[in-house]
Amino acid sequence: MRMDDVAFRYTRKGPWILRDVSLSLPPGRITEVTGHNGVGKSTLLRLVAGLRSPRRGRIIGRPRHVGYAPERFPVGQPFTARSYLSHMAAVRRVSVSAIDDLADRLRFAHVLDVRLSEMSKGSAHKIGLAQAFLAGPGLLVLDEPFAGLDAETRGALPDLLAELAAEGATVVLSDHQRCLDGRPDVHRVRVADGTVHPVTGAEESTPVFPPSGQGVRPAAPESASLPPVPDGQAPASPSGQGVRPAAPESASLQPVPDGQAPASPSEPRTSAAVPDISGPPEPDGTPNDAARDRAGSLGRVIRRTARRTSGARTSDPSAPTSKSPAPAAPAARMGEPSAPANDAAPDAYRTHISDPPSPVSDIPASDASQARVGGPCGEAGGDGAPGLGAAEEGWAVLEVVVRVDEADDVEAKLRADGYRVRRSDR
């Protein structure tokens, strides 16, 4: 299947949503579509699925049998899951026995006789996935398939996709949860600036940030090539995919001077896929300039609290923690990498780092647990998914406080980068 110079807009005189999209989607390939919210990922998926027709260009070679699962399954239908899937199986001319097989694999057998309108979001999402998988489509298009799924299903779904691809199906999906990170068999493209870009090797395992420096960028890790994470330190990933090990002991949770927002803590995706876009650290262990530049402005970080559940200290225990003088090489202030170390900034720019035994020292624990960044895969929600307040072994909970006018952007970027975010309006 191939898209040649495809352009699309919803109305005749409306703005172009996508332009000059040329994309090859050969059989057997899993293609992940990434990009920020509202850039046209879902529109692209609908074009691929044939639910929208391009205004310009052409799409050729689309397989006859297409499975499509929307981001939100339409639960406003007067059917139970079983009767709904039976109807869909009949439409696809598939035996109803396929429903039970999928129910076992996607773990929704217990809700087969529940009405769609009474289902939880996660269960309804599984029904949407199941109807797409019916009949073994030659083209499978999934819009945020991991959203709202429980951990077990998140873990099972990539294998299901891989099986389908191995059988020759073309799989195209969007995934803000980054549940396919680290899979070598996944081809990635990025939707940005109204078109589709191939994702380079470095980008594949790292968030992509706008050149304006407004994006969120984890600071450089201690080493661009992390040593293998010992057993017990790696976070438990429900899906087994996209494992992000805990930051190294001396990762960049460095105390910073007043007035200087820190570079974000290192949260390498995997030890093997740590991005090198931040470049090697400076000899003294601080992020280099490139890292600072890319750190961008995570809004104006006015306070950050880190809680390490592994019990390890985030940095040198003897180092000052809060409102301390600048160390030899200060981390960059967001958006102002060259700010002087002793810049007298308002309190709003101070960073607090708590030691593990007394995390979240200056905010209520309930509030601290509301913002967790760095979840393994998928947002909290769904059956059995861990909540944001319960950080697993080896994971950190950060509270990032930003200016009100920047909150939406920062939240969207963090989510786009696969972190779990819980908004707390205090």
Partner 1 sequence: MIALVRFHVAGYVRSLRVLPPVIAVLLFSAVVLQGVGGDDARRLATGTFGDVAAFAFPVWAWTARLLLDTQPDEQRALSETAAPSRLAHVLAGPVAAYAVNLCLTGLLLAVPTAQALSAGVGGAVLAGAALNALVAACATVLGACASRAVVPHPGLSLLTLLGGVTAALLLSMSPLSWAAVPMVEWLRAAHDGPDGLVTAFPGLAVHLALWSAAVALVYIAARRNRP
CB of 50 to partner 1, least distance (A): 7
For residue 211, give Cα distances in angstroms to 201, 295, 296, 297: 18, 11, 9, 11
The size of the interface with partner 1 (CB under 8 A), counted in residues, is: 34
Contact string (CB under 8 A) for partner 1, positions 35-74, x = contact: -----------x--xxxxx-x----------xxx-x-xxx
CB of 150 to partner 1, least distance (A): 22
Residue 364: exposed, middle, or buried by beta-carbon count in 10 A (0-12, 13-18, 19+)?
exposed
Among 77, 95, 200, 342, indicate the residue that binds partner 1 (CB under 8 A).
77
Contact string (CB under 8 A) for partner 1, positions 128-167, x = contact: x--xx-x--x------------------------------
Coil, helix or strand for 187? Answer: strand
Which parts of 70-174 are beta strand (E)?
A: 139-143, 170-174
Sheet order of strands, 56-60 included: 18-24, 2-8, 56-60
Between residues 108 and 395, which has the closer beta carbon with respect to partner 1? 108
Between residues 124 and 199, which has the closer beta carbon with respect to partner 1? 124
Between residues 72 and 110, which has the closer beta carbon with respect to partner 1? 72
CB of 131 to partner 1, least distance (A): 6
Q: Is 8 in the site for partner 1 (CB under 8 A)?
A: yes
How far is C-alpha 233 from the chain's CA centre? 21
Between residues 11 and 338, which has the closer beta carbon with respect to partner 1? 11
Q: What are phi and psi of 110, to 5 degrees?
A: -75, -10
CB of 136 to partner 1, least distance (A): 13
DSSP string, 105-133: HHT-GGGTTSBGGGS-HHHHHHHHHHHHH
User: Rounded to whole angstroms, how far apart are CA atoms 242 and 395?
Assistant: 14
Q: Is 87 in the site for partner 1 (CB under 8 A)?
A: yes
CB of 158 to partner 1, least distance (A): 22
CB of 18 to partner 1, least distance (A): 12
CB of 397 to partner 1, least distance (A): 35
Among 23, 81, 88, 373, indicate the residue that binds partner 1 (CB under 8 A).
88
The 10 Å Cβ neighbour count of residue 10 is 11
CB of 138 to partner 1, least distance (A): 11
Between residues 52 and 300, which has the closer beta carbon with respect to partner 1? 52
Contact string (CB under 8 A) for partner 1, positions 245-274, x = contact: ------------------------------
Q: Is 202 in the site for partner 1 (CB under 8 A)?
A: no
User: Rounded to the nearest 10 degrees, what angle do helices 81-91 and 97-106 cross at?
Assistant: 120
CB of 213 to partner 1, least distance (A): 36
User: Rounded to whole angstroms, how far apart are CA atoms 19 and 196?
Assistant: 8
Which sign, positive or negative, has the C-alpha torsion 353, 209, 409, 42? negative
User: Rounded to whole angstroms, how far apart are CA atoms 378 and 2?
Assistant: 30
Which sign, positive or negative, has the C-alpha torsion 265, 267, 273, 277? negative
Nearest C-alpha neighbor of 335 from the set 345, 347, 326: 345
| Contacts of partner 1 in 90-129 (CB under 8 A) | 90-93, 128
Which parts of 204-355 are beta strand (E)?
A: 304-308
Between residues 93 and 426, which has the closer beta carbon with respect to partner 1? 93
Question: Which residues would be at the binding site for partner 1 (CB under 8 A)?
Answer: 8-11, 46, 49-53, 55, 66-68, 70, 72-74, 76-79, 83, 87-88, 90-93, 128, 131-132, 134, 137
